[in-house]
Amino acid sequence: MCGIAGIFHYETVKPVDPKRVERMTDALAHRGPDGSGVWTAPGVGLGHRRLSIIDLDGSPQPMRSADGRAVIAFNGEIYNYRELRRELERGGAHFRTDGDTETILAAWQKWGVDCLSRLDGMFAFALYDIDRRQLFLARDRFGVKPLYLAQLEGGALAFASEMKGLLANPLMRRVIDPLAIEDYMTWGYVPDHRAILKGVEKLPAGHFLLLDHGRAPGPPQQWWDMDFTRRETGRTEDLSAQLLHLMREGVTSRMVSDVPLGAFLSGGVDSSSVVALMSESSAAPVTSCSIGFDVESVDETAYARQVAKLFATDHHERIVSSDQFGDIDRIAAIFDEPFADASALPTLRVCELAREHVTVALSGDGADEAFAGYRRQAFHAREEQVRSVLPSGLREPVFGTLGRLWPKADWAPRPLRAKTTLLSLGGSGEAGYARALAILSPEQRELLYDAAFLRERGDYRAEQPLEKLMRDAPARSGLDRAQYVDLKFWLPGDILTKTDRTSMSVGLEAREPLLDHRLIEFGARLPHRERLRGTSGKWLMKRTMERYLPDDILYRQKQGFVTPLAEWFRGPLASEARAIASSELLTGNGLFARKALSRLADEHISGRSDHGRVLWQLLMLERSLRHLKPSA
């Protein structure tokens, strides 16, 4: 696992200053504390920071191919590199190292861009072909590994694993993109189709970019996508056997490592399944790491201990206090862009614990998206059934009107909190799912924005890209479309960003075995009843894991990391809530209305409303802007 950075002059071939590339890669030193390197040629420079995982001494980067005609800076792991290597050797390729990096070089020289479909792994890389004078940038299927891009003055493209690598380049402009603020205030993160700074982009998951000297960059090209249009047939028992085989393959392929390896263990279905399958194929006890909380109602360590005891793991746990807000500034620096998923704090803690014992940790990320494990997916499937029997001309006048009139009652029992459901039923399925995912509705955002910001934002709404993605999805049903959007939008923007940044901030490599692309493709083909029964998601996965895990692990209510935001902003962070309203970064530059933010803080602190999550969003945005130091 590593960090990469570089510069490519596409307009005019100019020398690249190695010191400039070195500064960019040094900003990523946390991603690769074990080594660094820079390579330059006319018009191009590649930089690399290395965290040694495989072939510890033999694969320094940037790496040249055996024939010297191509150079690569690579971040990630290719799990099938040994099989690819044998195939390439049969075709005449020669190798000088024992790692996966050189395999990518040889694969490119044999298959060109088609090499991507042969790579099983997580990756972002920059490969320069000296003969073709062409730069090849690529990102893995799901976006496990990040890659930021920025256009620089003078016809150059800079790229880096994190935005801080770009910011180390003195030519970078730091101007906030107002549309990214709209995106962030809707989702709590800046999705992959945008970045917080103007002129910065993210190479989308499953895409590549080819760059030539003398030609302006074209749009990224998609090389992989999910397909929900086909269905598996067969008995449940047969489908379960296929699923178990694919899960085993995903886990065992990701256990290849020349350094200590372990797993995150929360005691939930996904991480417990990974630990079970790791234990099955490991001769030594698996190292498992869990964190708990000093508040019993949100502490899951008893379940984690139960699984650890069941599989005799080498278990480590740490209890942390619920007042973790002392790391707010550190989180802002880790993520660069504003990131309001409060579970980033406990995720950072479990990564710190794991790094004390291992260098690689397997996680359970991806199963909820792949096998319909989120309640919102089940609710959406039900709402789509209602929409299918009521004409749209009737839905909006009835449900839309009721939704607008229904009071917003965060304090009420769930059955009485019907406003979002009614508004959702009044519109299209895509609009309804976007509303279910959003932290703030369009109406709520309008109340917070300054008039100047509303003029600059114009007609754009953050829901529009998600709704289009959902409409155009290769899918057959509402459940398919919801899962497709979660895999393409939510997963790379929130879940994988959180895991990548927190793990790499402490020099830990996190691997996601349940995101093996063959497993995800199989999940997309499963009949509905094998994914979702009633409101119970991941049905076939849970049924399959019954041979390994007890029912109180498989069928208890989903919990996840919980952070007491409401209590924080009525207690130790009350002063921060009030300070938000007077922040020049938020209200002094035409982003937010000062009176609206002041009212938000007062209502929350007094207990009249629960605005904890929104206050956390605003606080993390303010801290991120402090970190970025944007220009006017």
Residues in a beta bridge with 360: 261, 509
Assigned token pair, 455: 């003029």
Q: Look at residue 80 and tell me whether its pLDDT is greater than 90.
A: yes
pLDDT digits (tens, 9 = 90+) for 185-207: 999 999 999 999 999 999 999 99
Helix (H, G, I), strand (E, B) or coil at 516: coil
Helix (H, G, I), strand (E, B) or coil at 592: strand
Q: What pLDDT is stored for residue 394 in this prediction?
A: 58
pLDDT digits (tens, 9 = 90+) for 101-137: 999 999 999 999 999 999 999 999 999 999 999 999 9
What does the H/E/C string look like for 259-324? CCEEEECCCCHHHHHHHHHHHHHCCCCCEEEEEEECCHHHCCHHHHHHHHHHCCCEEEEEEECCCC
By the 8 A CB rule, do 264 and 363 touch? yes
- Percent above pLDDT 90 for the chain: 80
Helix (H, G, I), strand (E, B) or coil at 235: coil
For residues 105 and 65, what is the distance between their CA atoms, to the nearest angstrom? 6
pLDDT digits (tens, 9 = 90+) for 536-572: 899 999 999 999 999 999 998 876 666 788 888 999 8
pLDDT digits (tens, 9 = 90+) for 393-436: 555 555 555 555 556 554 444 444 555 666 666 578 899 999 99
* Closest to 267 measured CA to CA, from 289, 295, 300: 300
By the 8 A CB rule, do 69 and 131 touch? yes
Please state, in angstroms and as integers, the Cα–Cα distance from residue 167 to each residue in 149, 172, 337, following that order: 11, 6, 12
Residues in a beta bridge with 151: 157
Contacts of 397 (CB under 8 A, 6+ apart): none
Helix (H, G, I), strand (E, B) or coil at 407: coil
Global confidence as pTM: 0.93
Q: Which residues are catalytic?
A: 2
For residues 237 and 540, what is the distance between their CA atoms, to the nearest angstrom? 9
By the 8 A CB rule, do 370 and 514 touch? yes
Averaged pLDDT for residues 323-342: 92
